[in-house]
Structure 1
Amino acid sequence: MKLSIRLLAAALPLLLAACVHKEAVKPQADYAVLLNEQRAREHLLAKTDHWVLQGKIGVSGEVNGKKDGGSGTLTWTQNGDNYEFVVRGPVGSKSFRLSVTPDGATLEGLDGGPLRSPDAESLVQSALGWRVPLRNLRAWVLGMRADSGPAELKFGADGLPVQLTQDGWNVNYPAWDTTRQPAVPSKVFADNPPYKVRLSVESWSFQ
């Protein structure tokens, strides 16, 4: 009996090591499969350039060393390379319309407007104090990597991205709408400290 216990005790570390080795190898193989599935999703969604997103947006950051931000309902209309953000904040807060084309951006609804700039991101930051990664957000909101440079992906148990890291931003996907094929995010949280962007999608309408 004592000999059996000793043999079991001696064999246990080897059995555990074998299990650990098996678990360490498996995710590597799975990651390659998941990455191929993500590429297939991105290939399909890259052709999707006419849609309307209804939801809520929250932005926070710092302006001149002080915390600042805002929130409201969002209607995002994408028409090819042109898009329009209509943000309606609570009473007393900022509401505006941002229209963007390849030729530049126009911001309406603020005092002293309309305001125009060749670059939408710098226009929003200078006028509102909001740092929003608009160039990449079109891809990120669909759960895709943007074409701006290298990106890292982490996947959840359902095979869909839970985190995307690109251009200094960490983009988290707490929830997806899997009733659509391919699936699209229903929550998108982007962080680049001290800046945060929170999107909660209530409805997608693809044309």
Structure 2
Amino acid sequence: MPITRRLSLLVLAATLAGCATTSNNVATVGAYRDTIDLDGRLSVNYQKNGNGESLTGSFDWTQRPGNVDVTLTGPLGQTVATISVTPQSATLTQAGRAPITEANIDSLTQRILGWPLPVSGLRDWLQGYAVDAQGQRFSASPARNEVSTQDGWRLRFVEWHDANAAQPVPRVIYATRAASGDIQDLSIRIIVNPAQA
């Protein structure tokens, strides 16, 4: 095989190897990272059985290729739940209770916590990405900060850690959903602290 063709194949192989995919099987773009450590705060409001519900708390997010670990903490610092997601399953553990494992993390959180924590979407959202309603990769920016996702969420990226960066990282995200099972008018406000080194 000629050297120029061999080099072309090596460049092509390297390029393809660099196109990691998310759980949505969509090629990533820009500065997306499979390995991140983040923490921040959440406030959740929704309607259930005609009653308004709200809660606040903090989260710790550890993401590695193929795995996500989340710790949810209440306003007084108590651990509400720990969540571990792999390509095969999702496990949610609450204090004093046996772990519960299912295939789908979003339905598991809704069943156990009473509201859906969109862990599968947050893998992208926390870095300013999403998959839009047409299945296309969306990259948020201060000038292009709203999107509806394929699974029914409406996202607004409100504030940024460095709005002038080539790919800014979101600081405040609003996520809303009209309905999810018996949950109505769900809104989640996410405040993301800077990524840890």
**Matched residues, percent identical?**
26
Match of 1:76 among 61, 70, 73: 61
1:192 aligns with 2:183: no
* Structure 2 match to 1:172: 156
1:152–1:165: 8 Å Cα contact kept in structure 2? Answer: no
Question: Which letter does structure 2 place at the counterpart of 1:45?
Answer: A
* Structure 2 match to 1:205: 196
1:107–1:114: 8 Å Cα contact kept in structure 2? Answer: yes
Aligned-pair RMSD on alpha carbons? 2.8
Q: Which structure 1 segments of 5+ residues have no match?
A: 1-41
Q: Give, in angstroms, the shift of residue 148 of structure 1.
A: 7.2
SS at match of 2:129: coil
2:140–2:157: 8 Å Cα contact kept in structure 1? Answer: no
* Structure 2 match to 1:44: 30
1:143 aligns with 2:143: no
Q: Hey, which of these two has a bigger chunk of helix by percent?
A: 1
Question: Which letter does structure 2 place at the counterpart of 1:202?
Answer: N
Give a deviation string over 1:17-67, Cα, whole Å, max 9, x none: xxxxxxxxxxxxxxxxxxxxxxxxx61233x10001111012222333332
2:71–2:79: 8 Å Cα contact kept in structure 1? Answer: no
2:35–2:65: 8 Å Cα contact kept in structure 1? Answer: yes
Q: Distance in 2 between matches of 1:102 and 1:150?
A: 20
Question: Which letter does structure 2 place at the counterpart of 1:196?
Answer: S
Match of 1:62 among 40, 47, 72: 47
Q: CA, structure 1 residues 71+136, in 2 after alignment: closer, same or farther (shift >3 Å)?
A: same
SS at match of 1:124: helix
What are the residue-to-residue correspondences of 1:96-107 with 2, within 5 Å? 96-107=81-92
Question: Which letter does structure 2 place at the counterpart of 1:43?
Answer: V
Q: Give, in angstroms, the shift of residue 101 of structure 1.
A: 0.7
What are the residue-to-residue correspondences of 1:117-132 with 2, within 5 Å? 117-132=102-117
* Structure 2 match to 1:113: 98
Q: Distance in 2 between matches of 1:84 and 1:135?
A: 12
Please say which structure displays the higher CA radius of gyration. 1
SS at match of 2:109: helix
Q: Which structure 2 segments of 5+ residues have no match?
A: 1-27, 179-184
Q: Distance in 1 between matches of 2:192 and 2:137?
A: 23
1:162 aligns with 2:145: yes
1:151–1:165: 8 Å Cα contact kept in structure 2? Answer: no
Q: Distance in 2 between matches of 1:185 and 1:86?
A: 20
2:42–2:58: 8 Å Cα contact kept in structure 1? Answer: yes
Give the TM-score normalised by structure 2: 0.70
Give the TM-score normalised by structure 1: 0.67
Q: Distance in 2 between matches of 1:155 and 1:45?
A: 12
2:90–2:105: 8 Å Cα contact kept in structure 1? Answer: yes
Question: Which letter does structure 2 place at the counterpart of 1:177?
Answer: H
